[in-house]
Amino acid sequence: MPEIEIDPTTRIEGHHATTLEVEDGRVVRAESEMNMFRGIESITHGRTPSDVPQVTQMVCGVCFTCHRQASILALEDAARRAGVFDGVPVTGRLLRDVMEGLFLMWNHAVHLFVLAGPDYSDAVADTGFDRLDPVEGAGYQTALARQRDLLQAFTEFGGRAPHPLTYAPGGVTADPDEAALTAVREALSGVDEWLGPTEALPEHLERARDGGPVPEQGVGTYDLCCLLLAAADAGADGFGVGPGRFYANGMFYGTGDDSLVFPRGIYDGEALSRPSRDELIEGITEDVSHAWYTDASGGRIDEAPAPDPDPEKADAYSWGKAPRFEGETMETGPLARQIAARSDPFDLRADLGNGVAASSTFNRLAARVQELLATRDHLLRWLDAVDLDAPTKADWTDEFTGTGVGFWGASRGALSHWVRVEDGEVEGYQIVTPTTWNLSPRDADGQPGVFEEAVEGMSVADVSDPVDVMRTVRSFDPCLGCAVHVQSPEGSFETRVEPHAPGGSADGH
């Protein structure tokens, strides 16, 4: 029985490997291996609550905003339940949404053009869509420029990217003026022109299908339509099929009440439900049977201690835990959010995929395109609603005792931060990331993780080039930086930093 070891997985964020057992040209077993240890939860212990978001956003240099946001939401939840916090002012909440929306668009553009896009380019897959070619393709190059515009717009409110400075418990410390708002609008206008009107997507899809000329406006959406057509032609609607269960935390408050713009939901394969906060807390557990952690590191999230490594553990093969909801695996990501919203703009998943609420490599790509356009449309409205004269932050105190959970959506799916505060100091902290939901190892019952199930049974025509397996793992847009962190052995290290310009000294002085 041939065994395929794919290490490392390329064009993702972080370090991941996959081991495949192949029999008669099909994958009979897959193991998803996260190759680093994450210990950032332990770093939060003993700190004051308001210090924690600055620490937890460092979990990743790509998913920085969503971790800071989820951390703040967890702290605000705890303070609210302790009776010392009343809520975030509307303008502060709206500024957070704008920053989160800019980040989401940037991250989706990176995934669709830089990480997953080359899988369907002419240079890599002989598809004829040379605009998607990495580095040299015109569509690829234009997308890089627009990604820069999105991050520059983000810094007007966030101070810097990555690792913004202005998100804080109670709201946003930024006090933007008209010039800052204008700068964000101008940066977004270039992105808006690149994508063109959302309603023009069907026209771009037909133009791409017919090989028509590249449009003057909406070239980004045209390129994305080329990607979807190439994925459909590759049969991506028929492979990478997961368990068919989906989980979305929801995200964005927008200009309305406390209801979420992208709603929370769990789809069990037959029906969609809207779990409450308490139902999620009761239902979410982490299994560590095949992860390099002590048995005590698993269980209910609100009761488990910080991850305790056990690198010699028998039968373990991953540093990633295995999150489950009521004992079941759950796929998460833009596709889960689209399903939770009962949304399939332009019937992309119904017509080109394998069904509106179905799992597949194609549907994950299509849902990300749909969410990119929807987020752009919301952003334009949120910017118009920003009141520069309104307060952006409420009073905040670290002096409380309580527990809280911050449920939020990252570009890669459902994210949650769990905190326990005792007399103004953090005593417990947990992070459950989208990538651990999607790329987890097996659990105690032998139930494979979502990605593992998605590739088991998949045809592998050439064991030296399991291209559809790679397309599938990338379709989840994994971020191993969020899922795990580096474990350093004992010892001392010395690094020499060279000056970046003539005349500087090696130590930076």
Q: Which amino acids are annotated as binding site for Fe cation, given as ranges?
A: 63, 482
Strands 284-287 and 299-300, by their bridges, are antiparallel
How far is CA 306 from each of CA 44, 301, 302, 412, rounded to the nearest angstrom? 10, 10, 11, 23
Cα 180 versus chain centre, distance: 27
Taking each helix axis from N to C end, the angle separating 361-385 and 219-233, rounded to the nearest 10 degrees, works out to 160
How many CB atoms neighbour CB 83 within 10 A? Answer: 9
Q: How far apart are CA 228 and CA 113, in angstroms?
A: 12
Q: Taking Cα atoms as reference points, which of 54, 55, 42, 156 lies closest to residue 99?
A: 156
- DSSP 8-state symbol, 62: S
Point out the annotated binding site: 41, 60, 63, 431, 479, 482, 485
Residue pointed to by tokens 């119904």: 350
The SS3 call for residue 245 is coil
Q: Taking Cα atoms as reference points, which of 230, 116, 30 lies closest to residue 474?
A: 116
The sign of the torsion formed by the CA atoms of 161, 9, 365, 117 equals positive
Secondary element (H or E) of residue 73: helix 64-81
* Tokens of residue 43, six digits: 């770093």
Point out the annotated binding site for Ni(2+): 60, 63, 479
Secondary element (H or E) of residue 22: strand 16-23
Strand order in the sheet with 425-432: 402-410, 413-422, 425-432
Q: How far apart are CA 145 and CA 156, in angstroms?
A: 18
Which residues lie below 8 Å from residue 303, measured CB to CB, with a gap of 6+? none
Strand order in the sheet with 16-23: 3-6, 16-23, 26-34
Point out the annotated binding site for Mg(2+): 41, 431, 485
Q: How far apart are CA 372 and CA 262, in angstroms?
A: 12
